[in-house]
Amino acid sequence: MAVKRGTLLGLEVKSGKHHHQLYFINAESEAAVVEKIKTGNLVLPGLKEASTEVISGQAEQPNIFKLYEQNIGMLTPMLADNLKEAEKLYPEEWIAEAIKEAVSLNKRNWRYIERILENWSSQGKSSGTHKGHTGETDKYKGQLFDHLVQR
């Protein structure tokens, strides 16, 4: 699960009759080590060089998850669920732009990003339309305090 989520890099290596599963933290330095192992430029102690074969590498992470981890911070399971929910409600480009806007304002938290998306959804955004819009903005029209609501 950690490899699928992108927290760890997974590598399965075959040496003779044995299969070894190796895991690395998903960081630039560790990704460079994985690449060296894949290309054969790095030989691991205890594995025979001639019979070492890379069977599988890392799983690709969806773009918004990678963008969040690179710019905001570590992705927890709860935040991953929030991002999945946001994917259902908003276009992926909007989420990416909201993350970039929050980072440019040095507001690095999910709540701030979520508010940006909510504002774009209710007030409109200059590029594109909201794919999850249901037209419920007038659901309180005709109610007791309708005259106080600015539309």
pTM of the model: 0.46
DSSP state of 136: G
Closest CA to 113 of 132, 100, 126, 131: 100
Residue 96 half-sphere exposure toward CB, CA atoms < 13 A? 8
pLDDT recorded at residue 130: 47
Neighbouring-strand partners of residue 73: none
Report residue 65's pLDDT band, with 50, 70 and 90 as the boundaries. Answer: confident
pLDDT recorded at residue 131: 44
User: Which element (helix H / strand E) includes 93?
Assistant: helix 92-104
Q: Where are the domains of the chain?
A: 2-56, 63-132
Comparison of pLDDT for 33 and 56, the residue scoring more: 33
Mean pLDDT of 49-58: 48
Query: Rounded to an integer, what distance in angstroms lies between the CA atom of residue 82 and that of residue 134?
Result: 20
Percentage, residues of the chain above pLDDT 90: 24
Comparison of pLDDT for 1 and 95, the residue scoring more: 95
Residue identified by tokens 């339309």 is 129
Tokens describing residue 120: 């774009």
Name the burial class of residue 131, with classes exposed (0-12), middle (13-18) and buried (19+) by CB atoms within 10 angstroms of its CB. exposed
Report residue 150's pLDDT band, with 50, 70 and 90 as the boundaries. Answer: low
Q: Note the pLDDT tens digit of each residue in 88-142.
A: 999 988 999 999 999 999 999 999 999 999 999 888 886 554 444 444 455 556 6
Instruction: Kindly report the CATH class assigned to 63-132.
Output: mainly alpha
Residue identified by tokens 């040496």 is 15
Q: What is the mean pLDDT of the chain?
A: 77
Mean pLDDT of 46-59: 52
Q: In Å, how far are 91, 120, 136 from 133, measured between CA atoms?
A: 11, 11, 8
Query: Rounded to an integer, what distance in angstroms lies between the CA atom of residue 19 and that of residue 9?
Result: 17
Least confident of 17-26, 41-50, 102-111: 41-50
